[in-house]
Chains A and B, each alone.
Chain A
Amino acid sequence: MATLFDINLFALFGQLLVGLINGSFYALLSLGLAIIFGLLKIINFAQGAMYMLGAFIALLALKYMGINYWFALILVPLTVGLIGILMERFLIRPIANEDHLYSLLLTFGLALIIQGVFTHAFGSSGLSYPVPEALKGGTKLPFMYLPNYRAWIIIVSVFVCAGTWWMIEKTKLGAYLRAGTENPQLMQAFGINVPLIVTLTFGFGVALAGFAGVMAAPIYSVSPDMGSNILIAVFAIVVIGGMGSIGGAIITGLGMGVVEGLTKYFYPEASNTVIFLVMVIVLLLKPAGLFGKEA
């Protein structure tokens, strides 16, 4: 066993790094979901569809308008965010006072419709988006070959996640937001436009999914079911991290990436279930999640 371990130490490092990269992806995706879920109490099942939409818009923008990756990184989240805003204003708001189940069913239905439309229009086989020229190639590390684009993913997601956390937890805007969702009547009495804040928050959360979509386009096949494949795992991550905890979603995202990466190495067959296994254990021991606020 010891020799086996010695031989595989390098391989293990590689797996850890790859896990961390995937984890930063999970963090990026679960962040948007955690904001919408935690602050607005909306269970947005369309988040995966928005992620898919982000990847597709980037692809179509490149193909038909010549908008390159770098502009897409800014323009696509804005577009997807705008779609989110319209969705919140015209579809979710009318049922905002109903049971949470209603928004869940609504967003789930929307996700199915969007996915169906894209399958009809583009087929199920997926399309290919090129890696931007500046991020092609890779670096040879002692234990593995690290593609530059994967390194870029880590840097960007850490930056975006930290920025979002800071904005919500440390700035005045974030304080308004948290207060507005905690006690809307009181905030309204202070002259703050709470519905506007809610709409913008939803838009921001959805925009993050669109952003993750653009980030994913060069490395994964851009296909209509890319969102639904990943959504459930991301939901589990939000639950493990603790609903409502922004920091929890980020840390759990990274952690679960590593856990999944190690599972892919030691027992690949379980790699798509390990996150749910962790979820069950966490829920049994700590029902509010690892970083959950309410007990």
Chain B
Amino acid sequence: MKKTNRTLLSAVVSGAIAATIACSAQATTDGQVKLGILADMGGTYADICGSGCVIAAEMAIEDFGGNVLGKPIEMVSADSQLKPDVASAIARKWVEDEGVDAIGGLVSSAVSGAVSKVNADSKNITLISGSASNTFTTKTCSPYNVHWTYNVVALANGTVKPMVQAGKKKWFFITADYSFGHALEGMASKVINENGGEVLGNVRAPLGTTDFSSYILQAQASGADVVALANAGNDTVNALKAAAEFGLTEQMDVAGLLVFTPNAQAMDPATAGGMRLTSGFYWDMDDETRQWSKRFEQRHGAIPSMIHAGVYSVTMHYLNAVKAAGTDDTDTVMKTMKATKPNDFFARNATLRPDGRMVHDMLYVEIKKKDERKDKNDIYKIIKVIPGDEAYSPMLPQCNFS
């Protein structure tokens, strides 16, 4: 039995090595457009950018017509497992051995950071749709980064500013203890202080915390007006659950700083109803968004998150640029992408700035109460549209790659 296993193992290993060797290195500018989609296929973020991100990119390729520069557009996809080292290895294999021109999807800021680094070295384009950190267009900006959909600045400006201005001055943070949570808390704190508010305290909860009761007690004792959840996914859902259970929602406001539609659906309408947040997209905004979302829902089985819509939009913009430029040469394509204004059901009043930040209208929405909902997909009420310039911070001079 043991021997069989060993034999099997060596067979697998040698097979893997053979497969790696078999792939011959290709130049990037080969006239063959190939996209790589890196997503979280089975982890915490699978619902917001897993197979849905792959489907969104496929839809973009199909809607584009399937061909560019006279050749069929190719696409590969893989599971990042949310691990930066895995993501980095896949990205390297794709760009070095498989002739991938651009890598998209990209959920989790740590994963995007790893991929962006690989692509900066190999001069390949990084189409970030799923990550929140603003580092890709500030501290670690690169001529080959394109950041679509949203970032922590837009979330903080969109959600926090109106609350502070409405007199909610004292804040307490429950923050996911990793780069994204820190970035979001930092940005939100800045907005609070700039608008005359005050941060009374914070707790850093490890990613994947199930029980938030201890943190909720600390938040309760802080005497804040608002408890901000600088986390995402199940962390937000569990924190809100505990907040309702311990009566915190009756004493203070809870602000979910990053909430995706599947998370909003997982929340109890009785406690989440009335909560306001910022989103880059909502499926039920107008006819255009509804039309695309219906098609997406038919293929994916669920309504699109803002990341899904962002993947479609950025893929389309990239393909249009390749077509207009008549080449898949990275520098030329980047230049064309930045020179053309993105404009589709997702990107409204949009520009792709020289630093790679796509600035577009954001939505300030309110989670609907139970009696306001027609069905399970009817979750947001749009309060107002936030113009891109108000949502995003200005470009840094050192990141101006025009």
Interface residues of A (CB under 8 A from B): 10-11, 14-15, 18-19, 21-22, 25, 98, 115-116, 119, 123-128, 130-131, 138, 144-145, 147, 149-150, 219-221, 223, 225-226, 229-230, 261, 264-265, 268-269, 271-272
Give the distance in Å from the alpha carbon of A225 to the alpha carbon of B207 in the complex: 13
Most chain B beta-carbon neighbours within 10 Å: one of A25, A145, A225, A268: A268
Residue pair B268, A130 in contact (C-beta under 8 Å): yes
- Cβ of B262: which chain A residues have Cβ within 8 Å of it? 123, 125
Give the distance in Å from the alpha carbon of A48 to the alpha carbon of B44 in the complex: 16
Residue pair A128, B266 in contact (C-beta under 8 Å): yes
Q: B198 on the interface (CB 8 Å rule)? A: no
Give the distance in Å from the alpha carbon of A272 to the alpha carbon of B208 in the complex: 9
Give the distance in Å from the alpha carbon of A10 to the alpha carbon of B247 in the complex: 17
Residue pair A11, B217 in contact (C-beta under 8 Å): yes
Q: B195 on the interface (CB 8 Å rule)? A: no
Give the distance in Å from the alpha carbon of A264 to the alpha carbon of B241 in the complex: 18
Residue pair B208, A229 in contact (C-beta under 8 Å): yes
Give the distance in Å from the alpha carbon of A36 to the alpha carbon of B56 in the complex: 46
Q: Across the two chains, which residue of chain B brings its CB closest to A226?
A: B210
Q: Across the two chains, which residue of chain B brings its CB closest to A128?
A: B268
Residue pair B266, A126 in contact (C-beta under 8 Å): yes
In this complex, the interface size class of chain B, counting residues with CB under 8 Å from chain A, is 35 or more
Q: B312 on the interface (CB 8 Å rule)? A: no
Give the distance in Å from the alpha carbon of A219 to the alpha carbon of B241 in the complex: 7
Q: B46 on the interface (CB 8 Å rule)? A: yes
Contact with A along B180-215 (1 / 0, CB 8 A): 000000000000000000000001111011110111
Supposing A22-B211, A125-B234 touch, asked if A225 and B44 sit within 8 A by C-beta, the answer is yes
How far does the Cβ of B8 sit from chain A's closest Cβ, in whole Å? 13
Give the distance in Å from the alpha carbon of A268 to the alpha carbon of B213 in the complex: 12
Give the distance in Å from the alpha carbon of A19 to the alpha carbon of B211 in the complex: 10
Q: B218 on the interface (CB 8 Å rule)? A: yes
Residue pair A272, B266 in contact (C-beta under 8 Å): no
Q: Across the two chains, which residue of chain A brings its CB closest to B245?
A: A147
Residue pair A268, B245 in contact (C-beta under 8 Å): no
Supposing A223-B234, A264-B215 touch, asked if A11 and B221 sit within 8 A by C-beta, the answer is yes
Q: Across the two chains, which residue of chain A brings its CB closest to B272?
A: A128
Residue pair A138, B211 in contact (C-beta under 8 Å): no
- Cβ of A128: which chain B residues have Cβ within 8 Å of it? 237, 241, 266-268
Q: B67 on the interface (CB 8 Å rule)? A: no
- Cβ of B42: which chain A residues have Cβ within 8 Å of it? 115-116, 119, 124
How far does the Cβ of B373 sit from chain A's closest Cβ, in whole Å? 14
Residue pair B218, A11 in contact (C-beta under 8 Å): yes
- Cβ of B104: which chain A residues have Cβ within 8 Å of it? none
Q: B45 on the interface (CB 8 Å rule)? A: yes
Q: B233 on the interface (CB 8 Å rule)? A: yes
Q: Across the two chains, which residue of chain A brings its CB closest to B267?
A: A128
- Cβ of A149: which chain B residues have Cβ within 8 Å of it? 245
Residue pair A269, B177 in contact (C-beta under 8 Å): yes
Supposing A145-B246, A145-B247 touch, asked if A271 and B217 sit within 8 A by C-beta, the answer is no
Residue pair B246, A147 in contact (C-beta under 8 Å): yes
Residue pair B233, A18 in contact (C-beta under 8 Å): no
14 contacts between A and B (CB under 8 A): A18-B217, A19-B214, A25-B211, A115-B42, A123-B302, A124-B42, A125-B263, A147-B246, A147-B247, A149-B245, A150-B245, A225-B44, A271-B206, A272-B209
- Cβ of B162: which chain A residues have Cβ within 8 Å of it? none
Most chain B beta-carbon neighbours within 10 Å: one of A10, A119, A127: A119
- Cβ of A138: which chain B residues have Cβ within 8 Å of it? 245-247
Residue pair A125, B266 in contact (C-beta under 8 Å): yes
Residue pair A264, B234 in contact (C-beta under 8 Å): no
- Cβ of B263: which chain A residues have Cβ within 8 Å of it? 125
Give the distance in Å from the alpha carbon of A138 to the alpha carbon of B245 in the complex: 8
Give the distance in Å from the alpha carbon of A153 to the alpha carbon of B233 in the complex: 26
- Cβ of A14: which chain B residues have Cβ within 8 Å of it? 217, 221
- Cβ of B46: which chain A residues have Cβ within 8 Å of it? 119, 123-124
Contact of A220 among B177, B220, B238 (CB under 8 A): B238
Residue pair B177, A219 in contact (C-beta under 8 Å): no
Contact with A along B248-284 (1 / 0, CB 8 A): 0000000000001011011110000000000000000
Residue pair B218, A221 in contact (C-beta under 8 Å): no
Q: B95 on the interface (CB 8 Å rule)? A: no
Beyond A128-B237, A226-B210, 18 extra complex contacts between A and B, CB < 8 Å: A14-B217, A18-B217, A22-B211, A25-B211, A119-B42, A124-B233, A124-B234, A125-B233, A126-B234, A128-B266, A144-B220, A145-B247, A225-B44, A265-B214, A268-B177, A268-B214, A269-B206, A271-B214
Residue pair A268, B211 in contact (C-beta under 8 Å): no
Residue pair B217, A219 in contact (C-beta under 8 Å): no
Q: B100 on the interface (CB 8 Å rule)? A: no
Give the distance in Å from the alpha carbon of A116 to the alpha carbon of B206 in the complex: 23
Give the distance in Å from the alpha carbon of A15 to the alpha carbon of B214 in the complex: 6
Residue pair A124, B44 in contact (C-beta under 8 Å): yes
Supposing A11-B217, A15-B214, A124-B46 touch, asked if A221 and B205 sit within 8 A by C-beta, the answer is no
Q: B60 on the interface (CB 8 Å rule)? A: no
Q: B43 on the interface (CB 8 Å rule)? A: yes
- Cβ of A220: which chain B residues have Cβ within 8 Å of it? 210-211, 238, 241
Residue pair B245, A219 in contact (C-beta under 8 Å): yes
Supposing A125-B47, A268-B205 touch, asked if A229 and B210 sit within 8 A by C-beta, the answer is yes
- Cβ of B267: which chain A residues have Cβ within 8 Å of it? 128
Residue pair A219, B242 in contact (C-beta under 8 Å): yes
Give the distance in Å from the alpha carbon of A225 to the alpha carbon of B40 in the complex: 14
Q: B50 on the interface (CB 8 Å rule)? A: yes
Supposing A116-B42, A123-B46, A220-B210 touch, asked if A268 and B215 sit within 8 A by C-beta, the answer is yes
**Can you list the 6 inter-chain pairs with the closest CB atoms, starting with the nearest?**
A264-B214, A125-B262, A124-B46, A272-B206, A125-B47, A123-B47
- Cβ of A127: which chain B residues have Cβ within 8 Å of it? 266
Residue pair B234, A221 in contact (C-beta under 8 Å): yes
- Cβ of A125: which chain B residues have Cβ within 8 Å of it? 47-48, 233-234, 237, 260, 262-263, 265-266
Residue pair B213, A18 in contact (C-beta under 8 Å): yes
Give the distance in Å from the alpha carbon of A124 to the alpha carbon of B263 in the complex: 9
Supposing A11-B221, A123-B46, A125-B47 touch, asked if A221 and B213 sit within 8 A by C-beta, the answer is no
